[in-house]
């Protein structure tokens, strides 16, 4: 599987490249894209190498042009960047009508399982207060994390009446329809997501902790392997688990 890595000089781009060097899933990096650095292309349009798939760990503002270039090359894309605006998400949806696009907020299989567990727990804990606490390293710029928002959507599938509230301050009680999300940024934490589901009598806590960034690179390459055999469309971790 021939892979082009976008955001190749970033933390995750280097993790993907390291796995390609080990031929994980028979993947080989044939081209690198980044805004700076030696031995890289500035844009996908500049890249002349033939590839089977692109894995993007760059920045959300680059997604639109990246997808336009991918459509020109008829190149399947794994979008692993987070922090997209609603307009940028629509760009992803539009591109998926022409090429296969895999888009997930988190490429951990464990997080996908966590999402299923959350929906099961919420469905049985009628009327419970639900809070999501996410912790990441101090370099992460978007908050809440894409994964926290994804887990919140899992809750809303069961409790659609809830409204997301990010952070808490001031002087007021918790509303019954709140779905709270708290963000913590510190040190070199890879990623911790904790969902607390509390009634007046008991609490269920579901927690996922990432210990190494390589697990996200692993998931992205696994998604790429899946994607290259699919027709044009939008795919996610649920598609992969099926």
Q: What whole-number distance in Å separates Cα of residue 160 and Cα of residue 153?
A: 9
At residue 103, the 3 state secondary structure works out as strand
- Strand-pairing partners, residue 9, are none
Nearest to 16 by CA among 54, 50, 69: 54
Structure tokens at 70: 């991918």
Options 32, 84, 136, 193, the catalytic residue:
136
Phi/psi of residue 192, each to 5°? -130, 130
Closest CA to 220 of 111, 78, 110, 95: 78
* DSSP H helical ranges for the chain: 11-21, 63-73, 86-95, 109-124, 146-158, 214-227, 237-241
Sorted by sequence, the CB contacts under 8 Å of residue 38 that are 6+ apart come out as none
Please indicate whether residue 64 is annotated as part of the active site: no
Catalytic residue check, 140: yes
- Which residue in the list 140, 165, 193, 208 is annotated as catalytic? 140
The answer to whether the CB of 134 falls within 8 A of the CB of 173 is no
Look up residue 24 and give its two tokens: 């994980």
Which residues are designated catalytic?
Answer: 136, 140
């Amino acid at each position: 599987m021939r892979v082009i890595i976008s955001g190749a000089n970033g933390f995750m781009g280097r993790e993907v490249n390291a796995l390609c060097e080990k031929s994980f899933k028979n993947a080989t990096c044939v081209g690198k894209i980044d805004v700076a650095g030696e031995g890289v292309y500035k844009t996908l349009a500049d890249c002349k190498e033939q590839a089977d798939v692109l894995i993007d760990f760059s920045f959300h503002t680059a997604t639109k042009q990246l997808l336009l270039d991918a459509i020109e090359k008829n190149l399947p894309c794994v979008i692993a960047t987070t922090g997209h605006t609603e307009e940028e998400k629509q760009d992803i949806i539009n591109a998926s009508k022409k090429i296969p696009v895999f888009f997930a907020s988190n490429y951990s299989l464990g997080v996908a399982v966590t999402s299923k567990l959350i929906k099961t727990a919420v469905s049985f804990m009628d009327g419970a207060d639900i809070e999501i606490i996410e912790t990441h390293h101090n370099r992460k710029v978007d908050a809440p994390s894409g994964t926290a928002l994804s887990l919140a959507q899992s809750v809303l599938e069961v409790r659609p009446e809830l409204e997301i509230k990010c952070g808490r301050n001031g002087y007021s009680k918790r509303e019954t329809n709140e779905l709270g999300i708290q963000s913590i940024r510190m040190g070199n934490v890879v990623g911790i997501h904790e969902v607390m589901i509390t009634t007046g009598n008991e609490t269920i806590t579901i927690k996922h902790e990432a210990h190494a960034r390589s697990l996200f690179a692993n998931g992205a390459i696994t998604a790429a392997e899946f994607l290259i055999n699919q027709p044009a469309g939008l795919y996610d971790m649920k598609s992969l688990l099926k």
